[in-house]
Structure 1
């Protein structure tokens, strides 16, 4: 099912590229998600559609990445071609591939094993999320309406205010997962408080008896509700490769893309699926939340050029310039200022000797970036030090920069003429010298008088 959509007149808004590989299993009908594909193309992305076992779906060819982003829409697939196997995907993610996983309750065991690599564990295949109090009228309770004010992460880097204050997000027949202790995971969307996990059907008396006899234990083990039931998660590595996990493919379907639905209490509301999917894919494909280091420098007070060596007690200024990837209303992307009030700098040698906040310096900031500065006094210890800045906030690019400089003692001609701490020694040396001179003068004067008296006695 190869298909390539090329839009030469539109420039991609992503900071990493515009080539997208879509792995779409045969069970999914591409036309049912046409509005989603169109939204990506309108943002300047080039979509290439392949099936899970397509041999020409190569992420890497001759050592070069063929795609910048991957949409894995094959939750039930049991086998993949070697070039897009789970191992190949992980290898490409280490090299910067951004991946969107669109999942369903019918996850294959291959996909489950692959998702465990990210520390995600999904509920059994026969269970879905159910909410009897929040679903469209006339539809199954498994089509859960998620109010973003209650269920979505409040993070401006991932979701915009339009999404957070907009209509409910329809989550039809979706699976649920629990996140482990992976510190790089972000819980983007979780289940409402009144929801629960169960089977999306009403069992007859005979079926209930069979379930209790055969599968009752499995159902009793699945007791995830509220915030513990993750529906959409995101991950960003230290290399800033991003991945997203959505537990329901119907979230992207035309059926709920900007449509009006009637709730169980008779209210008509417009779904927020279009806004949510747009924001989430913008983050995954590096259109939002991207920050880069433009430059770093350090110098001594009264100077402007960096030094390889500083002297103890020098007044040092460290400067860091950051830029944020932004997209204008007309669709063009550029770099602009990045504002934050929680950036810190470490002056470290094995352990941080100095940790200080960096303050925005508007006077020296260029138009398309922001400059931060930290001023401090070099410690009274010589050695090789590093200027280190680590900025790790959920949703934003991971920033780490390091530069090296030495701190040396004063040279012999740089010490002050008199050292305050040495005054006792100065006084002792001077008093000893004065006492010695007084003693010599006294001894000489007394000695000459004795010799004169002895000479007079002999003459008599």
Structure 2
């Protein structure tokens, strides 16, 4: 017995950190990320970007800073992920340490976890490959940066116009918050384009029509590959599993220097004492880490009108009711989600019925309709996709049968002429028979 205890105790001590980390992971009851791994090229980034990191810590995040080439680096242990989100502030990292590599980062996202990636002109092939797998392509020329001779920030040191003041934001209160960002965002870095085959990536901050991507230290020998509003400065991705990704071409965008700096856009009549970088970075991080725009659906029900229990099957032309409760995570609690564009399909190979659900302003959505005059195996399908919100995909299978032989209506009015014709024929035949047999 003593030997068995001696063997079990070290095993418990080894597994205890992993078990504790699992219990702290986000769940359906609290989907906001909490444990963040921040990979940096130099630990000095912790000081140069301290305002951004403090804003995360003040909202309850547990940040762990590690060098990107740390040989003990790992994202999971004993089959369980140690972190809920990954922040890559290591643009020049050519190789991650430990067991972390390109595949490990992509698997991390595929498992439903979130990612923030910030690059700069020194971005390595590894960082570019991660961005490419997420649906964006940085400029192929490693020396290229975004240049704008019209939309640049006025500064004595910004002679090459690579410091851009951009205010072309996405119009989405879910992603950037309901409070409007009044000051332009300072950006110095590399631009990227969106993969046209990837429908899940969205521009959040775009360059102006006068911008282009090139090496400012050399003369242009050919037209730039990225120009105008096609250049995305900051993009976001929401995967099919609701994992969220932020890709930014400027690490300086999150720096204390840009947060505190004033900004004056060229030919603008307004000079802002503080840039919009802090508000932009904080608000978009709330979306990435599921403090905003995360939906859940519960209590999916369907039954015949006037009943409560869910039947094992329906009959054609039955009147039924369908209902579901939808809530939105506010960062601290679940609140009723109110919208007028939630629809349900009664589906078999194709939708036979498409119905918009009405809501009671308290999260309950419902609709009633008649089962179509077609029997087979149907599905209640609810597919809800809206910009900035997590995707809802619900389905419930239910068979639909035809009328039984004793359920058809008898003596329907429409058949009265046929009934009359049948009885008149029989009466006429009887009279003809009597006359024929007994008439001399």
Fold similarity call, TM over 0.5: yes
2:237 equivalent among 235, 240, 256: 235
> Can you list the C-alpha shifts for 1:158-188, whole angstroms capped at 9, x where unaligned?
01232x341111112x100110120111111
> Can you list the C-alpha shifts for 1:373-401, whole angstroms capped at 9, x where unaligned?
12211011111100000011221101100
Given the superposition, is the C-alpha separation of residues 435 and 83 from structure 1 closer, same or farther in structure 2, using an over 3 Å criterion? farther
2:408 equivalent among 415, 429, 438: 415
- Normalised to the residue count of structure 2, the TM-score between the two structures is 0.87
1:176 equivalent among 191, 198, 201: 191
CA distance in 1 between counterparts of 2:45 and 2:260 reads 19
Q: CA RMSD in A?
A: 2.3
- Normalised to the residue count of structure 1, the TM-score between the two structures is 0.84
Structure 1 residue 344, shift from structure 2 partner: 1.3
Q: What does residue 436 of structure 1 align with?
A: 429
Aligned residues of 1:137 and 1:263 also touching (Cα < 8 A): no
Structure 2: tracts of 5 or more residues without a match: 1-20
1:271 equivalent among 271, 275, 279: 275
What secondary structure sits across from 1:84 in the alignment?
coil
CA distance in 1 between counterparts of 2:71 and 2:414 reads 79
Given the superposition, is the C-alpha separation of residues 83 and 425 from structure 1 closer, same or farther in structure 2, using an over 3 Å criterion? farther
Matched, 1:160 2:177: yes
> Can you list the C-alpha shifts for 1:31-61, whole angstroms capped at 9, x where unaligned?
1001111000001000011112223322111
CA distance in 2 between counterparts of 1:258 and 1:424 reads 89
> Can you list the C-alpha shifts for 1:401-457, whole angstroms capped at 9, x where unaligned?
0011111111222221223554454333222222222223323442xxx3xxxxxxx
Q: What does residue 378 of structure 1 align with?
A: 371
CA distance in 1 between counterparts of 2:185 and 2:306 reads 57
Q: What does residue 341 of structure 1 align with?
A: 340
Structure 1 residue 222, shift from structure 2 partner: 2.4
Q: What does residue 62 of structure 1 align with?
A: 78
Q: What does residue 107 of structure 2 align with?
A: 91
Q: What does residue 8 of structure 2 align with?
A: none
Residues paired across the two proteins, number: 408
2:386 equivalent among 389, 393, 401: 393
What secondary structure sits across from 1:319 in the alignment?
strand
Aligned residues of 2:211 and 2:229 also touching (Cα < 8 A): no
Structure 1 residue 306, shift from structure 2 partner: 1.5
Q: What does residue 458 of structure 1 align with?
A: none
What secondary structure sits across from 2:333 in the alignment?
strand
Structure 1 residue 146, shift from structure 2 partner: 0.9
Larger Rg: 1 or 2?
1
Q: What does residue 457 of structure 1 align with?
A: none
Structure 1 residue 258, shift from structure 2 partner: 4.2
Aligned residues of 2:181 and 2:276 also touching (Cα < 8 A): no
Structure 1: tracts of 5 or more residues without a match: 1-5, 328-332, 451-460
Q: What does residue 149 of structure 2 align with?
A: 132
2:212 equivalent among 174, 178, 196: 196
- After superposition, residues 8-47 of structure 1 pair within 5 angstroms as 15-26=31-42, 29-47=45-63
Q: What does residue 224 of structure 1 align with?
A: 226
